[in-house]
Amino acid sequence: MKILNVYFIKLIVDSIEKIDAKSFTFLIGVFISIIIIVNILNSIISAIILPKVNNKIEFGLKKKIYNIYFNIDDAYEPYKYDLYFFSLKNMGVLPDVTGQIGIMLNSIFSISGLLYIFSLYDFSMVIFVFVGVMISFMAVVIKNKISYNITVKNIPNDRKIDYINRLFYVPDYSKEVRTANGDIFFSYLKRAYDNLIYVYLKKAKEIALLEFFSKALTSLIIVAVLFLLGFKVINGVFTFSAFTMLFTGAQQILSDLNNLFSSFPQIYSLSLKMGKIREFIELGNKNNFTKHDLSKIKEIELKSISYTYDGKKNILKNSNLELNAKDGIVALIGGNGSGKSTAINLILGILKPSSGKVLVNGINIENINLNIYYDKISIVFQEFYVFSFSIYEILSGTSIINDQNENRAIEALKKVGLYEKIMQFERGIHTIISEEFEKQDGGFSRGEMQKLSLARAIYKDGDIFILDEVDSFSDELYKSKLSEIIKELRYKKIIFIVTHNREILSIADKIYQINESEIFLNN
């Protein structure tokens, strides 16, 4: 299209110089027709085809990144979390790369056609433009590399800004945020933004100089081409129509060369980002390489486990704990901050022990495929969160509705005593109880939310049930009902409970206690 634009300008100017109205009208008509056809094709590609392709790419990459993060060892380690955060933030890199490749191919095709036209008149002009653009290109490469380094250095600051955004956005934090001293949030946010701009300003002068040099050189090239071509028209070397075509062509070549050469540093910059994403993906590949799949969790053991927080404070030291179905109900007690949650996170593979081993069926958890491992665990956390899905989706983990899944969900809700309340809602088990996206007819107390979390664990029917202070928001009637639910699972499943409830402790077959960072069996 660009080549036709340049050549049609010459033909139109020729027809004007010859005062040929018929030829002029015909050329304008053809030119308009070509413009309409090309724009229709561009609109179809940009508005229909590309959004579909980009949407599919983004979904696939996001799903892969989430799955890797779920499955990597020691996922909360800062370097790994930084890679995860960077990967999520830069998921648009693949569509950007394909877009830049498209620009490159389009520019190459356009330049090739324009070079042929110039070869018929004055090829030296192309060499002049090419040399100028090459110098400008080097400045752009240096600028993009500096910008990438700034982006990488600012990852911790971006994470802090994202954290404050979530505090104001996530409903679970809303009460704390509203009633706390608001200055702390804005002070934290301001520090993050100040650090962000500080990192940038350290290199701002270099970026500004490179930007100025690149743009000034481009403008000077245009003026120089105009001067040289104008002189040749004055000296009778070119006609005015040839001057118009060549000047327009020179501008187009300059634009295409800039696009082409700027695509290289863009692709280079994008490749650096892709390298970071690839590094994160490799974490997942290494994590799954030769990892064991589990058919059933038979036993879990913490063997001589120690966990040190931040390399200083011992949360757990030289501790042992065994879990299996034949031991019946196993409980863990200890004071606040004693390490109970740490023990659960070690069992889940979320934290990595400083020393010792976590063994699942006698295999080090580091050699276990965590995705498959999690599929076999039913857990209720003390700090539980209910997703903004329907009750059915929360329990079943799927949006596919069938009678078998619905009946299974209903049975789980009956066991925890929520079925009657839920059936009073207009949409029953398909009620969305969160108001994250729309107004709903369901309202649950914290105790009822905890019951729902237990119902989800019952629905999942894992090989092991981990219940962390599962009665902390419940009344005495429910605590008694909870004991009956746990008794039903005894000897059929591995049962591990963190609780201070005497009624539940009274039915425990083994009780471990944490005292002074050490887990020991309380006889």
* Closest alpha carbon to 100 in 272, 275, 267, 268: 267
Task: Please give the average per-residue pLDDT across 422-439, as a whole number.
Answer: 77
Q: DSSP states of 280-346 as a string?
A: HHHHHHHHHTTPBP-S---EEEEEEEEEEETTTEEEEEEEEEEEEGGG-EEEEE--TTSSHHHHHHH
Bridge-based pairing of strands 299-309 and 355-360 is antiparallel
* Angle between the N-to-C axes of helices 124-153 and 155-169, in degrees from 0 to 180, rounded to the nearest 10: 60
Q: Which tens digit of pLDDT belongs to each residue from 181-226? A: 556 777 778 888 999 999 989 998 998 998 888 888 878 888 887 8
Overall CATH class of domain 299-386+444-522: alpha beta
Three-state secondary structure of 86-144: HHHHCCCHHHHHHHHHHHHHHHHHHHHHHHHHHHCCCCHHHHHHHHHHHHHHHHHHHHH
Distance from C-alpha of 399 to C-alpha of 409, rounded to nearest angstrom? 13
SS3 of residue 356 by DSSP = strand
Range name among 61-75, 157-171, 431-445 with the lowest pLDDT average: 431-445
Backbone angles phi, psi at 337, to 5 degrees: 75, 10
The model's pTM is 0.65
- Ramachandran region of residue 414, left (φ > 0), alpha (ψ -120 to 50) or beta? alpha
Distance from C-alpha of 44 to C-alpha of 518, rounded to nearest angstrom? 66
Pair 425, 442: CB distance under 8 Å:
yes
**What is the CB neighbour count within 10 angstroms for residue 154?**
18
Pair 6, 110: CB distance under 8 Å:
no
**Residue entry with tokens 């009780």:** 511
Percent of the chain at pLDDT > 70 equals: 88
Q: Read off the pLDDT band of 407 (50, 70, 90).
A: very high
Q: How long is the chain?
A: 523
Exposure on the CB side of residue 187, measured as CA atoms within 13 A: 4
Report which secondary-structure segment, H or E, holds 383.
Answer: none
What strands, in cross-sheet order, belong to the sheet with 299-309?
Answer: 313-324, 299-309, 355-360, 363-364
Task: Please give the average per-residue pLDDT across 459-466, as a whole number.
Answer: 93
Q: Which tens digit of pLDDT belongs to each residue from 170-185? A: 656 655 665 555 567 7
CATH of range 2-155+204-288; options 1.20.1560.10, 1.10.3720.10, 1.10.287.1260, 1.10.1300.10: 1.20.1560.10
According to the model, what pLDDT value does residue 437 have?
A: 54
Mean residue pLDDT across the chain:
81
Q: Read off the pLDDT band of 313 (50, 70, 90).
A: confident
For the cut 60, the answer to whether the pLDDT of residue 98 exceeds it is: yes
Domain boundaries, the chain: 2-155+204-288, 299-386+444-522
Please enumerate in sequence order all residues whose Cβ is within 8 A of that of 75, keeping only pairs 6 or more positions apart, or say none: 69, 81, 84, 350
Give the residue with greater pLDDT, 397 vs 261. Answer: 397
Distance from C-alpha of 268 to C-alpha of 148, rounded to nearest angstrom? 10
